[in-house]
Structure formats: structure tokens, C-alpha cells
């Protein structure tokens, strides 16, 4: 995958937003894009978007599933094989609760706290499906920095909520 300038958080968020646009608009989910970057090499290790893979998948979950396949390990063992300094860019704050049977994205990120040093978000999760998302606080309590990337909020929200009934 192509490289962007190290530390160009807006460019990585724009890439995640482009990915979110690939997600099918539905009234029951947010269209989210995610990118995982190796901070040492500035390589993009994985990308994902909502419903990219089967199973009512979220963008972050798709990234982790792809990495697990790439490294040949179950997702829950990714911490054993990933580089030690990663950043996760996601257009919407990772979910702290899933209404489906899937593991919340915050818990998936925390399993990789030894590798994921920072989560960059475009917007906090709207309260449409789950009120009081505690994603940011939970990640910070686990030692993972959560950083807002400003400037794309209204565009991210419009993409995220496309297909919702008003």
C-alpha cells in the first residue's frame, strides 16, 4: 500500500473516509473506515470499512481480521506478532458496545494495547444506536492515546449516517 507522510493525520483520516464511502448505506449501522499504520516504518498494514467482510463487521474489526489472516494467527493472538508501535485511524470513535454478538471494537483494540499506541478519530460515536459510548475513556484507561483529528467532522458524519432514516 502507498505511504503518506509520517504524522499527516489528516491524510490518513481522509484515506479512512474514502474507505468508509465503500460501506453500503444502511439504517442500522454507521459507515466507518479504518487504517492501521506501523509508526516505525510508516507502512499501512491494513485497511477496513464497515461490512467489508462477512458477519456484520465493523471497520476496525475488518482491519484486525485481515491482519490475523496476513500473519496466520487467530485475531486474539495478534498481539504476539504485530510490530510494537501502531496507530489506528478510524473515522468514528471505536464502539464500546455491540448490539450484535460481535466483540466491541474497543475490546479488540485493548487486546493490542502493547502494539496500538494511539487511536486517531474523526468524530465521537453518535448516540443513535448506543448511548454513552465509553470508547475513548476505556482506551485511555488502558494506556492508549485517543486523538481527535479535526476538520472532517461534518463530512465524516454525513458519510457515517448515509442510509439512516431521519
Catalytic residue IDs: 60
Integer Cα distance of 111 and 38 in angstroms: 17
Integer Cα distance of 131 and 148 in angstroms: 19
Whether residue 97 contacts residue 130, with contact meaning beta carbons closer than 8 Å, is answered with yes
Amino acid at each position: 500500500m502507498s505511504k503518506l507522510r509520517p504524522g499527516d493525520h489528516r491524510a490518513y483520516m481522509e484515506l479512512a473516509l474514502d474507505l468508509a464511502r465503500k460501506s453500503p448505506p444502511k439504517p442500522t449501522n454507521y459507515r466507518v473506515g479504518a487504517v492501521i499504520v506501523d509508526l516505525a516504518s510508516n507502512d499501512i498494514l491494513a485497511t477496513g470499512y464497515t461490512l467489508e467482510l462477512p458477519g456484520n463487521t465493523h471497520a476496525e474489526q475488518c482491519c484486525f481480521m485481515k491482519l490475523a489472516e496476513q500473519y496466520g494467527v487467530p485475531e486474539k493472538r495478534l498481539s504476539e506478532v504485530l510490530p510494537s508501535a501502531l496507530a489506528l485511524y478510524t473515522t468514528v470513535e471505536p464502539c464500546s458496545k455491540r448490539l450484535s454478538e460481535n466483540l466491541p471494537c474497543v475490546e479488540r483494540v485493548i487486546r493490542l494495547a502493547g502494539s496500538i499506541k494511539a487511536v486517531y478519530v474523526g468524530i465521537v460515536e453518535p448516540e443513535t444506536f448506543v448511548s454513552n459510548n465509553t470508547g475513548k475513556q476505556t482506551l485511555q484507561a488502558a494506556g492508549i492515546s485517543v486523538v481527535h483529528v479535526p476538520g472532517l467532522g461534518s463530512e465524516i458524519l454525513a458519510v457515517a449516517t448515509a442510509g439512516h432514516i431521519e
